[in-house]
Amino acid sequence: MTDSAVEQSVQDDLHDDVAAPAERMRPRVVLGVSGGIAAYKSCELLRRFTESGHDVTVVPTAAALEFVGAPTWAALSGKPVATDVWTGVEQVPHVRIGQSADLVVVAPATADLIAKAAHGLADDLLTNTLLTARCPIVFAPAMHTEMWEHPATVTNVATLRERGVLVIEPAEGRLTGKDTGKGRLPEPAEIFDVCLDVLSRGATGPDLAGRQVVVSAGGTREYLDPVRFLGNRSSGLQGYALARTAAARGAEVTLVAANVTLPDPAGVKVVSVSTTAELRDAVVSAAASADAVVMAAAPADFRPTAVSGDKIKKAADGSAPAIELVQNPDILKEISHTRAHPGQVIVGFAAETGDDTGSVLELARAKLARKGCDVLVVNDVSGGAVFGSPENEAVILATDGSATQVARGTKASLAHAIWDQVARRLT
Ligand code: CTP
């Protein structure tokens, strides 16, 4: 594209405010790309935004264009790209792009870009955009572990977070070259999910910033022998939605996952466990410093008294082995009754079916009292509708006597309703 064509297109873009109403309804996302090798992964992030109907303006830095060229960004976004503030200058792009955005996401965010943003420098279009944006801002850092852990970067990230910028923790794993460690750009699908959560909440901001939360997810397995176990139908979807949404609201999240096959949510510390005993140890340890704990996991209530070291064989006489069970610890009850510190908020789940002793809500109220937690999220599981489904509905009971009905919707929307309750109690 020639300079004049770029200029014309940038001007067209800047005139979008008078575009057709349907066009203006599309959420406006600015995708900032700074100069790191992970810039290629942002092409996938861009595709996800455009294919889901977002209006994306890509603002790469000059260094980013060393890794992925302007034609790629222009072709994928359907718009021209500019790195400097001198293109279409009469339309004041360095102000307008940021002002009209509903979300700015910078992926990858290099140590250099983070430092510039923390200090308010504005020497190119992206840094100008960051200074003029009044919408939520998400940074997905990617750099070598040494750079991420350097005191300068640590201070800069803390500064941005204090200002309400959501800085996603980088993932651990293979970095450029042969080294591994913390600093990888989280998977584009994960960054995208965080952005959707932030967009859906508008400018509310990261109200869980500075908070540590623990979420348990999945279903535990209690082994009979090396190949067989007693388990349950929990998929982990609701717990993962809780972890992802808490991270999107700025919390430092530890996700204790029991036998879940879903990808790790971006910026979340995942601790994998299998049995209820392992889940208990991991939750109790993480809860020691947590502001809130949400027990979305389905721990097995019983385990075999003994685990056979060998695969249990069929008996020649056709008889079935008797399985003797012992009760597992009740983790929710334990952490609720031995609070790690006053003010800690503890949330339990209750998968209930009514019976002749009471309705779903009556049984749930009794469970809230028995468990000793602050909030109980009640699912009516008559018919098994919740397991593995992307949707959920619930009533959120609390010790103040409130009962909040959450209409059927995504597990992320229920997760946000739960964090709303937690956030209210933490303040
Ligand atoms: N839970 C737990 N430890 C267990 C079993 C359950 O922490 N050993 C937690 C679950 O994570 C959930 C809540 O307790 O948050 C309720 O789980 P549910 O299976 O509905 O309750 P039960 O503990 O089985 O209830 P009851 O006391 O009626 O047996």
Which residue among 349, 374, 379 has the greatest number of ligand 1 atoms within 8 angstroms of its CB, and so is best to mutate?
349
Mean pLDDT by 10 residues, the chain (427 residues): 44 44 78 97 98 97 98 96 86 88 97 98 96 95 96 96 90 81 92 90 77 97 97 94 92 97 91 98 98 98 96 93 96 96 96 86 95 95 68 92 93 93 94
Catalytically active residues, by annotation: 232
Q: What is the pLDDT of residue 173?
A: 80
CB 7 within 8 A of CB 87: yes
Q: What is the pLDDT of residue 334?
A: 98
Is the same domain home to 173 and 118? yes
- Per-residue pLDDT of 295-321, as tens digits, reads 999 999 999 999 999 999 999 999 999
Is the same domain home to 92 and 120? yes
User: Atom 16, ligand 1: which residue's CA is nearest?
Assistant: 350
Domain extent for 248 = 212-302+324-426
Question: What CA–CA distance (Å, rounded) separates 161 from 169?
Answer: 11
Q: What is the pLDDT of residue 383?
A: 67
Is the same domain home to 167 and 256? no
Q: Which pTM value belongs to this model?
A: 0.82
Question: Cα of 297 to ligand 1 centre, how many Å?
Answer: 9
User: Atom 29, ligand 1: which residue's CA is nearest?
Assistant: 301
Is the same domain home to 331 and 267? yes
Burial of 393 (0-12, 13-18, 19+ CB in 10 A): middle
Is the same domain home to 298 and 373? yes
Domain boundary among 204, 223, 243: 204
Is the same domain home to 150 and 106? yes
Domain boundary among 187, 204, 221: 204
Q: What is the pLDDT of residue 392?
A: 83
- Per-residue pLDDT of 40-70, as tens digits, reads 999 999 999 999 999 999 999 999 999 999 9
Residues 6+ apart with CB under 8 A from 77: 31, 46, 50, 56, 57, 58
Is the same domain home to 188 and 219? no
The reply to whether 102 falls in a domain is: yes
Is the same domain home to 200 and 216? no
Q: State how many domains the chain has.
A: 2
Q: What is the pLDDT of residue 384?
A: 62
CATH of the domain at 349: 3.40.50.10300
Kindly state the helix (H) or strand (E) to which residue 140 belongs, with its residue range.
strand 137-141
Question: Cα of 413 to ligand 1 centre, how many Å?
Answer: 23
Question: Cα of 298 to ligand 1 centre, how many Å?
Answer: 7
The reply to whether 378 falls in a domain is: yes
The reply to whether 179 falls in a domain is: yes
Cβ < 6 A, ligand 1 pocket: 276, 295, 297, 299, 301, 328, 330-332, 348-351, 367
The reply to whether 14 falls in a domain is: no
Q: What is the pLDDT of residue 203?
A: 57
Question: What CA–CA distance (Å, rounded) separates 332 from 353?
Answer: 20
Is the same domain home to 114 and 200? yes
The pair of structure tokens assigned to 56 is 């994306």
Q: How many residues does the chain have?
A: 427
CB 236 within 8 A of CB 322: no
Is the same domain home to 148 and 293? no
Separation in Å, CA 267 to CA 30, 133, 135, 169: 21, 23, 21, 4
Question: What CA–CA distance (Å, rounded) separates 238 from 337?
Answer: 25
CATH of the domain at 92: 3.40.50.1950
Kindly state the helix (H) or strand (E) to which residue 14 belongs, with its residue range.
helix 3-14
Question: What CA–CA distance (Å, rounded) separates 386 from 396?
Answer: 16
Q: What is the pLDDT of residue 387?
A: 64
Question: Cα of 278 to ligand 1 centre, how many Å?
Answer: 16
Which residue among 220, 221, 331, 395 has the greatest number of ligand 1 atoms within 8 angstroms of its CB, and so is best to mutate?
331
User: Atom 26, ligand 1: which residue's CA is nearest?
Assistant: 367
Is the same domain home to 159 and 198? yes
Is the same domain home to 169 and 197? yes
